[in-house]
């Protein structure tokens, strides 16, 4: 089968890490009999330099015509002084909007070989964890009505959710739980917020009528924040609103110990998604062959799993990464203190490609 992938490498380390992920995809495609046809488009600072806008129409059209999008990262100090509406980061919001993406999936798992890098107490880290935060992306308080009073000494922001907005992200979360361990935790603040009460009612109605096979429980957001550091192994999939998800997904990613390892997906109604590492364009290490390609390679694996339904192929890539880490290979960002034999970004890529070639 042939899949068309739009590549948006972006800025800084973006082209290095996206290039590594493309090589991993090609080898996996050859192994399993698929063709991954990749077309590159500009966005962010690179597009500003060439076209004077952070998100050219050609990029939007190319992404809309693709089966899925793989993005590196955008931004950097070179474009810090451009006007707000021209900032490279605007390309991300523009792409999400154009592609109708309203759900964000952020896995946070501890790689067994890297338990030492986890910031949690060793007995908690030793139990391991593998959780997925499903965050609503286009509603809630970040997009609600806001303002100040006439004198400017009071302000308000509004949290608003409709049943339709809750249902569509909840469905995605139930489906995700089905592809994993079948356990979904809905996170809200239903003891205080009316939107949370609607959230809870809606998620439970869907659970009873459409997903009785998924084990559903609820947790207040303050308790969820505590449990992520006390007992993250409790969780499989969490589903929550835009703001709660923003905060919890950053918390969860930090407890794993390295942002160079973490992938993400943004999804909408169609199978087309946008996949990207959670880290930025790392201008401090760009061009120095220090970028860890793992988060982007794992983002490509997520694309295979969630957009193309190629679970076996996704497992194959994830296992190659886990095996390389298990053997003790590390890039500079995840090396143990004092470890001398660490790998450059391209060397880490070659180790993973070597495993994929088998
Ligand atoms: P960053 O994630 O780019 O870097 C933070 C630190 O982590 C840096 O020390 C960097 O060297 C390191 N790091 C990041 N990715 C790494 C990797 N793959 N391997 C090894 N080390 C890695 O965050 P920042 O410095 O706050 O932001 C830099 C630029 O990226 C800014 O312009 C910011 O706006 C942009 N940014 C873009 C995105 C995105 O495109 N989704 C996300 C976050 C930040």
Do residues 18 and 66 share a domain? yes
From the CA atom positions of the chain, what is the Rg in Å? 20
The domain boundary residue, chosen from 220, 251, 282: 251
Is there a domain that residue 289 lies in? yes
Residue 119 confidence (pLDDT): 86
Structural domain includes residue 125: yes
Taking CA atoms only, the protein residue closest to ligand 1 atom 16 is 260
Q: Are residues 96 and 161 in the same domain?
A: no
Catalytic residue among 130, 218, 250, 350: 250
Question: What DSSP line would sit under 172-215, residue for residue?
Answer: HHHHHHHHTTSEEEEEE-TTT-HHHHHHHHHHHHHHHHH-TTSE
The ligand 1 atom at the shortest distance from the C-alpha of residue 283 is: 28
| Total number of domains in the chain | 2
Same-domain check for residues 261 and 326: yes
Q: How far is CA 39 from CA 4, 42, 350, in A?
A: 8, 10, 22
Residue 166 Cα to ligand 1 midpoint, Å, equals 31
Is residue 59 located within the same domain as residue 151?
A: no
Residue 312 Cα, ligand 1 centroid: separation in angstroms? 30
Do 144 and 97 share a structural domain? no
Q: pTM score, two decimals? A: 0.92
Looking at residue 338, what is its pLDDT? 86
* Residue 160 sits in the same domain as residue 84: no
* Interior/surface letters 203-236, b for 16+ CB within 10 angstroms, e for the rest: beebbeeebeebebebbbbeebbebbeeebebbb
Q: For this structure, is 250 an active site residue? A: yes
- Domain end, chosen from 218, 251, 284, is at 251
Q: Does 111 reside within a domain? A: no
Largest Cα–Cα distance of the chain, in whole Å?
68
What is the residue-level pLDDT of the chain in tens, covering all 358 positions? 899 999 999 999 999 999 999 999 999 999 999 999 999 999 999 999 999 999 999 999 999 999 999 999 999 999 999 998 899 999 998 999 999 999 999 999 987 778 877 889 988 888 889 999 999 999 999 999 999 999 999 999 999 999 999 999 999 999 999 989 999 999 999 999 999 999 999 999 999 999 999 999 999 999 999 999 999 999 999 999 999 999 999 899 888 877 789 999 999 999 999 999 999 999 999 999 999 999 999 999 999 999 999 999 999 999 999 999 999 999 999 888 888 899 999 999 999 999 999 8
- Same domain? 235 vs 288: no
> What is the β-pairing status of strands 101-109 and 215-220?
unpaired
Which domain, by its residues, includes 34? 1-101+256-358
Which of 14, 43, 280 best tests ligand 1's pocket when mutated (most atoms within 8 Å of CB)?
280
- Tell whether 90 and 200 lie within a shared domain: no
**227 part of a folded domain:** yes
Say which CATH number the domain at 167 has: 3.40.718.10
Question: Are residues 51 and 128 located together in one domain of the fold?
Answer: no
* Residues 242 and 260 both lie in one domain: no
């Amino acid at each position: 089968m042939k899949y068309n992938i739009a590549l948006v490498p972006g800025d800084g380390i973006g082209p290095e890490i996206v290039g590594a992920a493309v090589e991993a995809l090609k080898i996996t495609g050859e192994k399993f009999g698929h063709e991954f046809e990749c077309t590159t488009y500009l966005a962010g600072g690179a597009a500003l330099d060439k076209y004077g806008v952070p998100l050219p129409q050609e990029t939007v059209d190319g992404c809309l015509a693709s089966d899925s999008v793989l993005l590196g990262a955008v931004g950097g100090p070179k474009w810090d002084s451009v006007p707000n509406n021209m900032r490279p980061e605007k390309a991300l919001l523009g792409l999400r909007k154009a592609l109708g993406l309203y759900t964000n999936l952020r896995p946070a798992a501890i790689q067994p070989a890297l338990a030492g890098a986890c910031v949690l107490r060793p007995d908690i880290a030793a139990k391991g964890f593998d959780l997925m935060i499903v965050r609503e992306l286009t509603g809630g308080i970040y997009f609600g009505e806001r303002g100040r009073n006439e004198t400017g000494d009071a302000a308000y922001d509004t949290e608003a959710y409709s049943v339709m907005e809750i249902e569509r992200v909840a469905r995605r979360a139930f489906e995700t739980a089905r592809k994993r361990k079948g356990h979904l935790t809905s996170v809200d603040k239903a003891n205080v917020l009316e939107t949370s009460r609607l959230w809870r009612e809606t998620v439970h109605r869907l659970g009873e009528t459409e997903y009785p096979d998924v084990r559903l429980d609820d947790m207040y957001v303050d308790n969820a924040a505590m449990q992520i550091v006390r007992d993250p192994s409790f969780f499989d999939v969490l589903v929550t609103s835009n703001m709660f998800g923003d905060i919890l997904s950053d918390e969860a990613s930090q407890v794993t110990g390295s942002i160079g390892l973490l992938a993400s997906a943004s999804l909408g109604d169609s199978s087309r998604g946008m996949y990207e590492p959670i880290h930025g364009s790392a201008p401090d290490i760009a061009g120095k062959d220090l970028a860890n390609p793992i988060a982007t390679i794992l983002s490509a694996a997520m694309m295979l799993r969630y957009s193309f339904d190629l679970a076996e192929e996704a497992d194959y890539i994830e296992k190659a990464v886990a095996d390389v880490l298990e053997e003790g290979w590390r890039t500079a960002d995840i090396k143990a203190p004092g470890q001398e034999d660490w790998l450059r970004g391209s060397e880490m890529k070659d180790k993973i490609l070597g495993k994929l070639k088998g």
